[in-house]
Structure 1
């Protein structure tokens, strides 16, 4: 069994310990044989002393793979975590996110697998390679892994490629598999689509030029869950709700049907809906 820990840096003032990025990556691994995945929540404002304590917990656990998201507000913390991990136990450290292309990486441990782009398929393939017996040195020699090409020391994931979205994450059974028993019903981030056709360049959704949507049955299951747990507020991070006017209306109809008491914050582009 390959034991995977995905770090989730959260804001204690906002509520909810589990970021949408960590949850979607976790969901993509749930159908894999011989893989166990768990999300490790860490406060974004954690002090150095408590961060060292979290590193000790990871080193004393059964985790063999650690995954971390690289944003400007997490960069220094994840660097310290990687430097402190026991490489005798940890087989691979995966670091993915937009800050990878903007920050110096020479002061890291040196064996991290850096990636830029949507990480579901890439992470699945890394897990398969490790289960089959590959070590981190073998993996670093690979020029192409899943939908990613290596450029310098970064695996650049194909833009506008396949979207892995076969498993709903917000269900009682799947949250239980991830050992999440403290799902916050006050506030939740959510996504129903990825990408935006516009090239504003300021919102962070420019990785995909062509919006792709999550399977409607997955969204329906997840929205039904929000209603069943009595979720109070939700922020849908889609740059354009649903990707198209028709899809956006369908999603709002699902909320009206299954979670009518959930307050929704979402974005409609005036160029489409105005």
Structure 2
């Protein structure tokens, strides 16, 4: 007997915690369970071929919005080849409107609804031992063979988190991939766009068990462990125990990612995370909107001014990489109020500002009230909003331009200095990204693959069309040069940069380790990293300053080169004039 668990991930670096958790819980049948992991970048024909060659006796699919189209096609085509093989599906994408799903997919034997560990174990027992009946298995729906009607069995009781076995014993199978880890399930909040709000029974894994498992990741020097807990810090003592443990056992390599509610952080927690190694943890903070009416309507619990204050305090430690999230398409938020939300959160200067679009998920409050909100969304996954009562499709398309420009020029971290220099030249940050997006559209630059240096050239082209003064353009040329070398020692030099022959003596003196460092002259002193925004535009210097980019010393949060200002004096004057370093 072979039971084949199929996972189709969004990227290779991702892993599917669900299928490994299912197999671990069904430990009595592990010899009969095989996991097949693929990505949406694999051709459907390739995945179909691999499943067929595996010769499963039972085929199972883990279903999410990012892979559902693949799953549906694979179900249809595989059933043509092997109609005798039972096909089971589970996951959030099939746990709602089950009867409709089974009617539309007659090839599917049944659906595992909700938490799957115990249900999958019972299915394995049913198929391996060939005893009992499907009616005895809780948490499933299947088609009655005689009547053709859908049979629903009683729901499973919520899992005791400590009863779920650790599923990463063979950590060597996850090399170069993100490890997903779960220390709690459920969420205390009622956010209307999120399925986690449905599970109100908040449960935690035994803290000593969690520590033991985290110690394993630390010992194995796993690069990143991403907690999937929906609001990690909703219980103070649980969060503190875990944060203390990772701090005390820090191996200097492993990074831990947490999704938190910033306005729940207290002073004790802030003091602890401020004392951590830079890069040890990173925090994802959902804001979604700053519009008070919207926040109330989506049932989100958030004190905005407190959240802003906490984010600033987090940043004050200069050791935490933080992401802030916004969602476009929420009720009562039009183009203007979304732009205001964007500018308020952008002003906090997070390491990343993630701009997403509302997904109208089956089973969510937003799905149930779609007609009331006049929400029009894609019929197929990921069910992304196209327009609402407050936001036209034209507005959505404009915000999508902002999203792409934000990703390219801000979230990438590749134009950090130039963004700070450009922002004061526009009415707002949102306006800057919007105008840049319109420029990309007019020039036909969307949908094309651009190198980093080409992105810089486009930015200069855009600013020239903005009729910027020559002095501003000169400053932007230098800031772009700074940004290009900030990230790496460029293989090709930007056309506007001075010839290296002009400062060959400085290069020869300072860059003794070859391509691992670079020296460059600038006529502006650009803002230090600790400064989130510019109060005034830098003034042009009469004599250039020389900046040394050291690629062997990188910032642990954004991996930019370590930069110091070095002496421009004659190299024959000796070391006493050298190394009067200033952090940039």
TM-score range, shorter chain: 0.7 to 0.9
- Greater helix share, structure number: 2
Q: Does residue 1:265 correspond to 2:257, yes or no?
A: yes
Aligned to 1:32: 28
Larger radius of gyration: 2
User: What is the Cα deviation at residue 155 of structure 1?
Assistant: 4.8
Aligned to 1:93: 87
Contact 1:159/1:207 (CA < 8 Å) preserved in 2?
A: no
In structure 2, runs of 5+ residues without a counterpart are 144-148, 267-584
User: What is the Cα deviation at residue 270 of structure 1?
Assistant: 4.0
Q: Deviations over 1:126-162 (max 9, x none)?
A: 1111123159xx53xx2x5235577963757737623
User: What is the Cα deviation at residue 193 of structure 1?
Assistant: 0.6
Contact 2:140/2:155 (CA < 8 Å) preserved in 1?
A: yes
User: What is the Cα deviation at residue 117 of structure 1?
Assistant: 0.6
Of residues 66, 74, 86 in structure 2, which corresponds to 1:73?
66
User: What is the Cα deviation at residue 253 of structure 1?
Assistant: 2.5
Aligned to 1:225: 216
Q: Does residue 1:6 correspond to 2:2, yes or no?
A: no
User: What is the Cα deviation at residue 122 of structure 1?
Assistant: 0.6
User: What is the Cα deviation at residue 232 of structure 1?
Assistant: 1.9
State the distance in 2 between where 1:44 and 1:23 align: 19
State the distance in 1 between where 2:125 and 2:58 align: 12
Q: Does residue 1:237 correspond to 2:228, yes or no?
A: yes
State the distance in 1 between where 2:188 and 2:153 align: 21
State the distance in 2 between where 1:195 and 1:146 align: 20
Aligned to 2:40: 44
Of residues 126, 140, 150 in structure 2, which corresponds to 1:153?
150
State the distance in 2 between where 1:171 and 1:242 align: 27
Contact 2:225/2:257 (CA < 8 Å) preserved in 1?
A: yes
Q: Give the structure-1-normalised TM-score.
A: 0.78
Segment of structure 1 superposing worse, 214-223 or 93-102: 214-223
What is the 5 A alignment of 1:128-147? 128-134=125-131, 139=134, 142=135, 144-147=136-139
Instruction: Count the aligned residue pairs.
Output: 254
Segment of structure 1 superposing worse, 148-157 or 115-124: 148-157
Contact 1:160/1:210 (CA < 8 Å) preserved in 2?
A: no
Contact 1:241/1:268 (CA < 8 Å) preserved in 2?
A: yes
Contact 2:113/2:141 (CA < 8 Å) preserved in 1?
A: no
Aligned to 1:59: 52
Change (3 A) 1:107 1:158: closer
Give SS of 2:69's match. Answer: helix
Segment of structure 1 superposing worse, 117-126 or 81-90: 81-90
State the distance in 1 between where 2:164 and 2:256 align: 24
What is the 5 A alignment of 1:72-221? 72-83=65-76, 84-85=78-79, 86-87=81-82, 90=85, 92-100=86-94, 101=96, 104-134=101-131, 139=134, 142=135, 144-147=136-139, 153=150, 155=152, 158=155, 161-163=158-160, 165-172=163-170, 181-185=172-176, 187-221=178-212
Aligned to 1:252: 243
State the distance in 1 between where 2:151 and 2:233 align: 31
State the distance in 2 between where 1:34 and 1:217 align: 26
Change (3 A) 1:167 1:87: same
Change (3 A) 1:242 1:230: same
State the distance in 1 between where 2:131 and 2:256 align: 45
User: What is the Cα deviation at residue 105 of structure 1?
Assistant: 4.1
Change (3 A) 1:131 1:82: same
In structure 1, runs of 5+ residues without a counterpart are 176-180
Contact 2:182/2:229 (CA < 8 Å) preserved in 1?
A: yes
User: What is the Cα deviation at residue 221 of structure 1?
Assistant: 3.3
Aligned to 1:178: none
User: What is the Cα deviation at residue 269 of structure 1?
Assistant: 2.3
Q: Deviations over 1:30-86 (max 9, x none)?
A: x21474222211112333xxx223222222224222221222222221122222144
Give SS of 2:196's match. Answer: coil
